[in-house]
Structure 1
């Protein structure tokens, strides 16, 4: 019988990893800031065209902008943490599904032990 289980993916921090993550976080911050500017534009446009309550429109847009600003703060925090992260440390990079063949008589504890895949500069270096 085959079962599917989650396997953690970890990344070894290198100079290249730091550079890639920094670029990724900065790009996400930039896109979120652009979305905030677009929301301001859309809000003004809607307020001018609509006869609806402007306070309701403003509230809706403020909620959306607040959500994006929270994401911006999160990515700025991640950038700060990235700067102090030592080279050679491991960071979590999500999970993937793995298909495992099981048979009668196998040790269940060994099957459910936390498995992981270790990646360094885009190359799988270890599977445990």
Structure 2
């Protein structure tokens, strides 16, 4: 029988991976800032077309969306700060994938349940633990 189990992906921190993550975080911050500006523009455009009551509803809706994006911006700024403190050689969690595992009678269930992981260094798989 085949079953699916989660496998952790870990990224080993190198100078290259730190630089790539830094660029990724900065790009996401830029994107969210652009979205905030676009939302403010759309909000003003809609408010010019509506009544006072509708303007309040529109403002509340747009505020919620803008605040959500600002939270994301703050999160990525925090991640940038933490990235600077991260020593080379450390491993960071980079997600999970599903793996298909063959289960047969007589197998040790506890051994199969142990956390499997894949370690990646600069885009290359360097270690697989099962």
Normalising by the residue count of structure 1, what TM-score does the alignment of the two structures yield? 0.98
Are residue 39 (structure 1) and residue 39 (structure 2) matched? Answer: yes
For residues 95-128 of structure 1, the C-alpha deviation after alignment (integer angstroms, 9 at most, x for no partner) is 0000000100000000000000000000000000
Are residue 70 (structure 1) and residue 71 (structure 2) matched? Answer: yes
Pairing of 1:1-128 with structure 2 (within 5 A) = 1-51=1-51, 52-128=53-129
Q: In structure 1, the residue corresponding to 2:48 is in which secondary structure?
A: helix
> 5+ residue gaps in structure 1?
none
4+ residue runs over 6 A deviation? none
Give the distance between the partners of 2:31 and 2:69, measured in 1 at CA: 10
Task: Using the TM superposition, give the Cα deviation of residue 55 of structure 1 relative to its aligned residue in structure 2, in angstroms.
Answer: 1.2
Task: Using the TM superposition, give the Cα deviation of residue 49 of structure 1 relative to its aligned residue in structure 2, in angstroms.
Answer: 1.3
> 5+ residue gaps in structure 2?
none
Normalising by the residue count of structure 2, what TM-score does the alignment of the two structures yield? 0.97
